[in-house]
Amino acid sequence: MDNLINKLALYLSSSSVTTVLTGAGMSVESGIPDFRSKSGWWRKIDPRTVATIEALETNYDLFHEFYCARIRGFQECYPHKGHHLLAEWEQTGLIQAIATQNVDGFHLVAGSKNVSELHGSIRNFRCNGCGSPANKADFLSKHTCVNCGGKLRPNIVLFGEMLPEQAWDTTLRNIQMSDLVIIIGTSLEVYPVNELPSMTNGKTVLINKDLLDSYHQFDLIIQGNAKEVLEKTDEIMRAK
Ligand code: OAD
């Protein structure tokens, strides 16, 4: 693996604009399960029953129970060294932006600034009916919207919904002007994010625990855990 990490370090030091794209695997070492690995959420529960707009509208009890469980799961979890290194790399100009499918907010908590949360955030809430902001306590207590009586929900993107326009536009711009896109911890199974690696003219590097069936050809694939690979890369960059 060391040779591959040396190559990544070389790419990083010769790139002027680098974007990092993360998925659920980025937060696994913080104690948050991903979706499609053996211990992932979608092995235990069918996403159609909890992660779609239809689920919210027609089976709110199960929808609510699922997101309460996820929110409770996040409570004891924190960003790991890998998240912190990405924040440091942004500060020192080694990377310019992060686009994430994760709703845990860990990149922002770790101090990254230029973060596009493509699937929203589970830290904010709103009414599904009128869009008024709501708070976490009201969602957890299953209260309805104070304005219109509508159902409360986390500010995340459900299957069947559009991605937040600003986050998507910013990410597209970043990816298109990048010399290097580093993709970390994602199965790249979900549209439209899985199209992003094909939208850059720069080099693409995949850091993932499992090998993917992705149709995209990467310039470099490092099979490993996000935290370990980022730590090793940081060591090499510091020694340069
Ligand atoms: P997945 O669960 O589909 O993929 C996570 C990937 O991370 C897998 O390929 C794992 O092999 C890898 N992985 C696991 N642990 C890792 C580690 N420690 N280091 C590196 N890689 C690791 O998650 P996503 O691709 O993020 O969307 O899923 C995309 C979207 O599908 C999610 O945002 C969510 C989900 O349904 C919505 O709910 C809209």
Q: Are residues 63 and 172 in the same domain?
A: no
Total domains in the chain come to 2
Confidence band, pLDDT 50/70/90 cuts, at residue 1: confident
Query: Is the pLDDT confidence value at 74 over 80?
Result: yes
Q: Are residues 131 and 109 in the same domain?
A: no
Share of the chain above pLDDT 90, in %: 93
pLDDT of residue 2: 86
**How crowded is residue 177: how many other Cβ atoms within 10 Å of its Cβ?**
15
Confidence band, pLDDT 50/70/90 cuts, at residue 44: very high
CA 161 – ligand 1 centroid, Å: 19
pLDDT of residue 130: 97
Looking from the CA of residue 225, the nearest atom of ligand 1 is: 19
The answer to whether 193 and 21 have CB atoms below 8 angstroms apart is yes
Q: Are residues 39 and 66 in the same domain?
A: yes
CA 185 – ligand 1 centroid, Å: 6
pTM, whole model, 2 decimals? Answer: 0.96
Q: Are residues 195 and 168 in the same domain?
A: yes
What are the backbone dihedrals phi and psi of residue 125, each rounded to the nearest 5 degrees, phi first? -135, 155
The answer to whether 198 and 216 have CB atoms below 8 angstroms apart is yes
Residue nearest to atom 18 of ligand 1 (CA): 225
Query: What's 9's domain CATH number?
Result: 3.40.50.1220
CA 62 – ligand 1 centroid, Å: 22
Confidence band, pLDDT 50/70/90 cuts, at residue 91: very high
Mean of pLDDT over the chain: 96
Query: Is the pLDDT confidence value at 240 over 90?
Result: no
Query: Is the pLDDT confidence value at 165 over 80?
Result: yes
Residues near ligand 1 with C-beta < 6 Å?
23-25, 28-29, 34-37, 40, 47, 51, 101, 119, 157, 159, 185-187, 189-190, 208-210, 225-226
The boundaries of the domain holding residue 72 are 33-76+123-156
Residues in the chain: 240
